[in-house]
A and B are shown apart, each in its own frame.
Chain A
Amino acid sequence: MSRRLILILLLALAASAPAAAQKTPQARSIGKRMMCMCGCNQVLTECNHVGCTVSAEMLAKLDQQVARSEPEDLTIQAFVQEYGQKVLAQPPSTGFGALAWITPGLAAALGTMIVWTLLVRWRRQTATAAPATVAPEVLARVRRELDEENEA
């Protein structure tokens, strides 16, 4: 097959690449709550990676369901039925998915507790520390730092 023929076939393929414009803003809004199932790890309405046929199919189906005026949650549920929970763009707040939401909060609480404990402990150490004799080199460093602070 000649090179030119291959090129023509490819152009024809490219021209038929599915790129349906979504019909309604509601469809676009729902589409942003779901992931493309081709494995690209992109939000459904944002998946435009080369050769993706899955997102085109999903978007067409979404348009159809929105056109039938089905409630938003029911539409999403239909996709969950077909593709599983993986289709949701964020983990559910119940079941095992809740762990994803809890982890950052737990880390924040734990981290704050540790930092606060450290600060209080260091403050206490400083308050109870006996006045120490200061080594000349430490004194020189402090003086230099103070000079820098003042100059700046």
Chain B
Amino acid sequence: MALVCAIYAIVAGIAGIGTRHPLLIKSARNAGMAVCLLVTLATACLVSLFLADDFSLAYVAGHSNRDLPVFYKFAALWSGQEGSLLFWSWLLSIYAFIALFANRKRHPELMPYVGVVLACVQLFFLLLNVFAAGPFSVLAAPSEGGALQVVAPADGRGLNPLLQYPEMVIHPPTLYLGYVGFTVPFAFALAALLGRYPGEKWIHITRRWTMVAWCFQSLGILLGAHWAYAVLGWGGYWGWDPVENASLMPWLTGTAFLHSVMMQEKRGMMKAWNFWLVFTTFGLCILGTMLTRSGVVSSVHAFAQSSIGPWFAGFLAFILAVCLAAYLKNRDYLRSDNQLDSLVSRESSFLFNNLILLLACVAVISGTLFPVLTEAVQGTQISVGPPFFNKVNIPIGLFLLFLTGVGPLLAWRKTSLDSLKRNFAWPLIGGLVFGAICIAQGARDFYAAVSLTLSGFVALTIASEFWRGASVIRARTGSGFLAAVGQLTMRNTRRYGGYVVHFAMVLIFIGLAGAAFNQDKQLEMQPGSRLDIGPYTLVLQAFTSPPPETPNYSAERASIEALREGRPLMMLYPERRTFPASEVTSTMVAIHSTLNEDLYVVYAGRSPENGQPVIHAYLNPLVKWIWLGGVVLMLGTGLALLPNRQPAFAIVRAAQPEIALAPAEGVAAAVPQGSLRSGD
């Protein structure tokens, strides 16, 4: 039914656009919103079948078992191919419902096009749900009479143990909210292009949508990194795996769009470029889903593989064809007023910012798809692993960090030499001093030292921006510094929220720099043996098989006392769990995390030679800064999404000429809404 509604939304929408018949347009919109209710119903059915342990359903039998905690039965919804595609459909239908409902009385020329584009994307995923990867197939076997009858095994095969971790309940939905969320800006952009919607309105409408999708994508990537760190037990958080790369690609182009869009808002520049950035970001979301789900590239994270690759390839080709046709047909609509007063300006920095982000994206895409290319050309694969990605992307990332510091200090249109000196001198000196201190403290690795120096520089440029703005407010209002910072931030939430996000990136880069100093040691141990790593000593106390907390798994546990510089610190309990339903084992890492370093201990299994337990210990400096950066990033994005609050003096000043025109109506009535905007 949802499929039929989506088809109706497309047909009626196109007819409504053609005939401008309001009832057709309204019914197309209602059909688009009805899809949400129907897909919600389907999703609720699947979840209830998981909760009811209905193993006659192939998907439930393949991804759940009776002893699986309820918490994970809900998460099993997206643990496999069919369920995750239904989940995609469901999230998309929710986004579409909100977009259509919130704008039902606004933008009457634009919304019918938006509805059609959203319904087309929805239709693709519903086609997958119905014809290619339906989650409602039942298990059947021939009866004595030869007719097929539904059979239900006594128990299911269980959820992949790697997914039985609390973060896995949050990470995939978050990442999906990012992937799916980029559909809305894409729909508005394509609609604006198809309908030749005037001005930059579509950008204002989609700004918050893009930021929400970007925030979810960022959070999803970081949660995925944290899950890989805490669950996979290899001591790292980012392995440049194709699935990880797939989530990074749209994030990079989405970040480029969030920056370049300001060029269009402020200066009316780069209109065509912004359209293509949105199209590319959405295309990369689809490509990412394809890589994750189709098995085109091999990955330890690809929990579902099948032959749906051609569907996605076809859809990607369709998107490209539609975008290209719309662009070629309406090129004149995208003519920009590209003027540049100076090469040293905010505009230039945004161009280079876009260049670097796209370069990073190209490097990631080419590296990810290179094995597929070599197989197609040579017949044998050439691997592209972390050493390649690190060599190529670390310099790009550092240059991007540098631009993060430089960009905000450059003025729009033109930056004078005096202003450059004034704005850069202290942050530059501060950054160099910070870098020198880090090197003196032992950060003797080229890239790490550069990263830490640049982090210091960028943090100080951000601080100087807050300082300068708050000083002006203090001088005007006489308020305290913190109150002035609060006022400043709330007056232009987008700008200062953006700075907070930049600061989050600084924290993340500090954390990444720590990877240069990772240490690890692996030892076959027996009770009483010691393993020294950095300032820590690990003393193995015992190996036990504790009584299971849940029948879902049993565990072998190492009890390890951790000492720091000879003094008792804490007990660590790394485990190796065995899941009878899926007949596999997994590790549970024990982590002692501080701002300085993480002590990360894995019970890696038993030695095949003598049966002794093998303990692998890692000392990973500064990892916590990455997760801290994730929290700050969320706060910054949340801040940027808030509406601006106006200072009283600005209202009075803007109102004065209007008061003269309409003295009887009073200030509040006389000030037009537009004049109260401080601009975002």
**Which residues of A does B touch, CB under 8 Å?**
3, 6-7, 10-11, 13-22, 28, 32-33, 35, 39-43, 46-51, 56, 84-92, 96-97, 99-101, 103-104, 107-108, 111-112, 115, 118-119, 121-123, 125-126, 129, 144-145, 147-149, 151-152
9 A-B residue pairs with Cβ-Cβ distance under 8 Å, sorted by A, are: A14-B578, A18-B608, A21-B524, A85-B382, A86-B380, A88-B382, A104-B363, A115-B355, A145-B679
**Per-residue A-contact encoding for B601-634, CB less than 8 Å = 1, 0 else:** 0101111110100101000000000000000000
Restricting to B292-309, which residues have a CB under 8 Å from any CB of A? 297-300
Would you list the 8 A-B pairs with minimal beta carbon distance, nearest first?
Answer: A19-B605, A89-B385, A122-B340, A21-B522, A46-B234, A19-B604, A90-B388, A40-B300
Say yes or no: B607 contacts A89, CB within 8 Å.
Answer: no
Say yes or no: B678 contacts A148, CB within 8 Å.
Answer: yes
Residues on the B chain within 8 Å of A87, using CB: 383
Say yes or no: B412 contacts A91, CB within 8 Å.
Answer: no
Residues on the A chain within 8 Å of B488, using CB: 152
Q: Is B677 located at the chain interface by the 8 A CB criterion?
A: yes
Say yes or no: B352 contacts A115, CB within 8 Å.
Answer: yes
A7 to B339, CA, bound (A): 72
Say yes or no: A111 contacts B355, CB within 8 Å.
Answer: yes
**Among B236, B338, B339, contact of A46 (Cβ-Cβ < 8 Å):** B236
A20-B608, A86-B371, A152-B491 known; 20 new pairs, CB 8 Å cut-off, are A11-B545, A13-B585, A18-B605, A20-B609, A21-B616, A41-B300, A42-B385, A46-B235, A48-B233, A50-B584, A86-B380, A90-B383, A97-B374, A100-B366, A100-B367, A100-B382, A101-B392, A145-B679, A152-B472, A152-B495
A122 to B270, CA, bound (A): 11
A88 to B604, CA, bound (A): 24
Please judge, given known A-B contacts A35-B383, A84-B380, A90-B388, whether A42 and B241 are in contact too, CB under 8 Å: yes
Return B331 CB to nearest CB of chain A, in Å. 17
**Per-residue A-contact encoding for B378-394, CB less than 8 Å = 1, 0 else:** 10111111111001100
Say yes or no: A17 contacts B585, CB within 8 Å.
Answer: yes
Which chain B residue has the least Cβ–Cβ distance from A112? B355
Restricting to B515-551, which residues have a CB under 8 Å from any CB of A? 520, 522-524, 545
Say yes or no: A16 contacts B351, CB within 8 Å.
Answer: no
Say yes or no: A148 contacts B605, CB within 8 Å.
Answer: no
Return B644 CB to nearest CB of chain A, in Å. 10
Return B672 CB to nearest CB of chain A, in Å. 11
A94 to B648, CA, bound (A): 67
Q: Is B422 located at the chain interface by the 8 A CB criterion?
A: no
Q: Is B418 located at the chain interface by the 8 A CB criterion?
A: no
Say yes or no: B384 contacts A91, CB within 8 Å.
Answer: yes
Which chain B residue has the least Cβ–Cβ distance from A52? B300
Say yes or no: A107 contacts B363, CB within 8 Å.
Answer: yes
Residues on the A chain within 8 Å of B348, using CB: 119
Say yes or no: B339 contacts A129, CB within 8 Å.
Answer: yes
Say yes or no: B351 contacts A115, CB within 8 Å.
Answer: yes
Which chain A residue has the least Cβ–Cβ distance from B367? A100
A99 to B366, CA, bound (A): 10
Q: Is B580 located at the chain interface by the 8 A CB criterion?
A: yes
Return B316 CB to nearest CB of chain A, in Å. 20
Residues on the B chain within 8 Å of A121, using CB: 338
A28 to B380, CA, bound (A): 26
Q: Is B400 located at the chain interface by the 8 A CB criterion?
A: no
Please judge, given known A-B contacts A90-B391, A104-B392, A145-B412, whether A22 and B522 are in contact too, CB under 8 Å: yes
A89 to B605, CA, bound (A): 25
Return A124 CB to nearest CB of chain B, in Å. 9
Residues on the B chain within 8 Å of A84, using CB: 380-381
Return A24 CB to nearest CB of chain B, in Å. 11
**Among A3, A89, A101, A147, contact of B386 (Cβ-Cβ < 8 Å):** A89
Return B671 CB to nearest CB of chain A, in Å. 13
Q: Is B162 located at the chain interface by the 8 A CB criterion?
A: yes
Residues on the A chain within 8 Å of B341, using CB: 123, 126
Please judge, given known A-B contacts A46-B239, A104-B363, whether A41 and B608 are in contact too, CB under 8 Å: no
Please judge, given known A-B contacts A10-B583, A46-B239, A96-B382, whether A149 and B412 are in contact too, CB under 8 Å: yes
A3 to B580, CA, bound (A): 9
Return A72 CB to nearest CB of chain B, in Å. 15
Say yes or no: B359 contacts A111, CB within 8 Å.
Answer: yes
Restricting to B462-506, which residues have a CB under 8 Å from any CB of A? 469, 472, 488, 491-492, 495
Q: Is B242 located at the chain interface by the 8 A CB criterion?
A: yes
A6 to B579, CA, bound (A): 11
Return A122 CB to nearest CB of chain B, in Å. 4
Residues on the B chain within 8 Å of A3, using CB: 580
Q: Is B362 located at the chain interface by the 8 A CB criterion?
A: yes
Please judge, given known A-B contacts A48-B604, A145-B412, A148-B678, whether A104 and B351 are in contact too, CB under 8 Å: no
Q: Is B333 located at the chain interface by the 8 A CB criterion?
A: no
Say yes or no: A89 contacts B340, CB within 8 Å.
Answer: no
Which chain A residue has the least Cβ–Cβ distance from B392? A104
**Among A17, A92, A112, A148, contact of B606 (Cβ-Cβ < 8 Å):** A17
Return A100 CB to nearest CB of chain B, in Å. 5
Q: Is B637 located at the chain interface by the 8 A CB criterion?
A: no
Say yes or no: B338 contacts A122, CB within 8 Å.
Answer: yes
A107 to B472, CA, bound (A): 44
A138 to B381, CA, bound (A): 57
A14 to B587, CA, bound (A): 11
Return B363 CB to nearest CB of chain A, in Å. 4
Say yes or no: A17 contacts B605, CB within 8 Å.
Answer: yes
Please judge, given known A-B contacts A17-B585, A104-B392, whether A152 and B384 are in contact too, CB under 8 Å: no
Restricting to B629-680, which residues have a CB under 8 Å from any CB of A? 647, 650, 675, 677-679
Residues on the A chain within 8 Å of B340, using CB: 119, 122-123, 125-126
Residues on the A chain within 8 Å of B472, using CB: 151-152
Residues on the A chain within 8 Å of B545, using CB: 11
Which chain A residue has the least Cβ–Cβ distance from B579? A10
**Per-residue A-contact encoding for B50-70, CB less than 8 Å = 1, 0 else:** 000000000000000000000
Which chain A residue has the least Cβ–Cβ distance from B233? A48
Q: Is B98 located at the chain interface by the 8 A CB criterion?
A: no
A18 to B675, CA, bound (A): 70
Q: Is B343 located at the chain interface by the 8 A CB criterion?
A: yes
Of A41, A103, A107, A115, most buried by chain B (CB within 10 Å of CB) is: A41
A18 to B604, CA, bound (A): 9
Which chain A residue has the least Cβ–Cβ distance from B523? A21
Q: Is B197 located at the chain interface by the 8 A CB criterion?
A: no
Residues on the A chain within 8 Å of B556, using CB: 11, 14-15
